[in-house]
Amino acid sequence: MARLLVMIPSGEIYDHDSVRWYQYQNIQRSIDRYHNIGDAFVFDSSLKVLSFDKIGVLEIDNPDWSSLDRLRDEYDYVLLRGSNYIHGEMEWHDAAAVLKKLGLPVLAFGIGAQAPVKGRMELSEATKEVLRVIADLSTSIGVRGAFSAEVLGDLGIDNVRIVGCPTAFRRLDPNLSIKLGPLADIQKIGITLRREVSPAYAQNIERYLTFHRDLVKSLAGRFDSVLMAQGEVEEKKLVFGTDAQKEEAIASLRADGWASRWYFDEAMERLYRERLFYSDVVADYEALVRQQDLVLGYRLHGNLMALANGVPSIYFTYDSRTAEFAETYRIPSYDVFGNSAFVLEDYWEQWRFDAFNAAWGNVYDETRRFLIENRIDNKLVDRSAKKTDAGMLRVA
């Protein structure tokens, strides 16, 4: 089995291929800092898809240059977990120089580009150099969708495959399929929250937040709902904090200009106090989504975690990143900045999820081809295999 080096990890590894935030039991250590636990979802999922027996971390910020010759001998390839790396603000530190000197193949596993609301995407020379180095060291680069492939193509990088995100395949089930029951039978739902937003990516903050607020309140009034946060400081304090920190969080939300005007009203405060969920352990989210009948909302990876576990999900798209994911997997999605009203019944249609089922299978196959052509040991099986009467897989 392979020996892999991780560049830009997102959490600590336990039980071989599971991820949680660093020193997760020391709650106060990180309670005042934002970290997106969705990045840990991708890291955890990548490890579950790959086969390996040794793992290490490749430092790109103040690296130990003298260690690179040793690392080249001890490891087989570098894993760059999927994330939103291709944008104007990305800081790569010494990544290009480290990768060139190390010379190992790089597995870029579902990386993506983020388009600004206005103007052209302006990538730094450092970002362009890192992407070209990765392309030179790889048979192919795995990107999350067509837009990201187009951005790389504009840089002259054409050895690209669209692989979505490894979170979609974390259960290693080659026959994943979403089948809807009657909407009337839906009782428990998860609502994925993203309160913090940048005007660089969401074109209308007032619409983004007011729709978000009204969606949460309407769904919470209709279903047994849990609000799933993914790392904002105030939300973490309301789940993990002391009594004083919880009231501090409420006061902060009330005082925040955008939140107080367009999001955090009395009804939302009550829901935040009673139904909010957060964890620094990826497995806790997976356990939660598997208890739900439906998961929907603003969080890309929170929704994808549900789909990966066979739970129906609906995306609310508001930037190029969320739209690209929905397009890659044909996930039922609602444009937050569109003109139509959101009606849940309009999305609870099997044909919409049949489109997802077909697209998911196609991306699964493409991801397997991508890993094989990059000579990466992995756990994805050939879906062209057929089942025997005993239910075992037989290669056709």
> Are residues 160 and 271 both part of a single domain?
no
> Are residues 187 and 154 both part of a single domain?
no
291: pLDDT strictly greater than 60:
yes
CA angle 131, 149, 145 (to 5 degrees): 120
> Are residues 289 and 366 both part of a single domain?
no
Q: How far is CA 257 from the centre of its chain?
A: 28
349: pLDDT strictly greater than 60:
yes
- Residue 178, in any domain of the structure: no
Q: Greatest CA separation found in the chain?
A: 64
> Are residues 221 and 322 both part of a single domain?
yes
> Are residues 145 and 196 both part of a single domain?
no
Q: By three-state DSSP, how is residue 170 classified?
A: coil
Query: Between the CA of residue 58 and those of 34, 63, 266, 391, what are the distances in Å?
Result: 23, 8, 47, 42
The tokens of 137 are what? 């060291």
- Residue 256, in any domain of the structure: yes
Kindly calculate the radius of gyration of the chain based on its CA atoms and give it in whole angstroms: 21
- Residue 340, in any domain of the structure: yes
> Are residues 235 and 329 both part of a single domain?
yes
What pLDDT sits at residue 386? 52
Task: Give me the number of domains the chain comprises.
Answer: 2
CATH number of the domain to which 340 belongs:
3.40.50
pLDDT bin (cut points 50, 70, 90) of residue 391 is very low
Q: How many CB atoms lie within 10 A of CB 91?
A: 10
The tokens of 354 are what? 């049949």
What pLDDT sits at residue 10? 96
- Residue 390, in any domain of the structure: no
> Are residues 159 and 281 both part of a single domain?
no
pLDDT tens column, 125-137: 999 999 999 999 9
> Are residues 237 and 283 both part of a single domain?
yes
How far is the C-alpha of 293 from the C-alpha of 298, rounded, in Å? 17
- Residue 381, in any domain of the structure: no
What pLDDT sits at residue 393? 39
- Residue 131, in any domain of the structure: yes
Q: By three-state DSSP, how is residue 294 classified?
A: strand
pLDDT bin (cut points 50, 70, 90) of residue 385 is confident
pLDDT bin (cut points 50, 70, 90) of residue 153 is very high
What pLDDT sits at residue 388? 41
Phi-psi region of 172 (alpha: psi -120 to 50; beta: other; left: phi over 0): left
What pLDDT sits at residue 118? 75
What pLDDT sits at residue 201? 81
309: pLDDT strictly greater than 70:
yes
> Are residues 193 and 161 both part of a single domain?
no
How far is the C-alpha of 112 from the C-alpha of 167, rounded, in Å? 14
> Are residues 219 and 312 both part of a single domain?
yes
Q: Once rounded to an integer, what is the mean pLDDT over residues 251-275? A: 97
20: pLDDT strictly greater than 60:
yes
What pLDDT sits at residue 381? 97
Look up the pTM and report it. 0.95
387: pLDDT strictly greater than 80:
no
What pLDDT sits at residue 212? 97
Mean pLDDT, rounded, of the chain: 94
- Residue 154, in any domain of the structure: yes
pLDDT bin (cut points 50, 70, 90) of residue 389 is very low
What pLDDT sits at residue 102? 97
CA-closest candidate to residue 285, choices 37, 65, 114, 108: 37
160: pLDDT strictly greater than 90:
yes
* Structural domain range at position 47: 2-173+360-373
> Are residues 188 and 135 both part of a single domain?
no
- DSSP, residue by residue, 59-93: --SS--GGGHHHHHHH-SEEEEE----BSTT---T
What pLDDT sits at residue 390? 39
Please, where are the H alpha helices in the chain? 27-30, 37-49, 68-74, 95-102, 125-137, 146-154, 205-222, 233-240, 243-255, 257-262, 266-275, 282-289, 300-308, 320-329, 344-347, 350-373
- Residue 297, in any domain of the structure: yes
> Are residues 337 and 188 both part of a single domain?
yes
Q: Once rounded to an integer, what is the mean pLDDT over residues 250-275? A: 97
pLDDT tens column, 56-74: 999 999 999 999 999 999 9
Q: Are 103 and 134 in contact (CB under 8 A)?
A: no
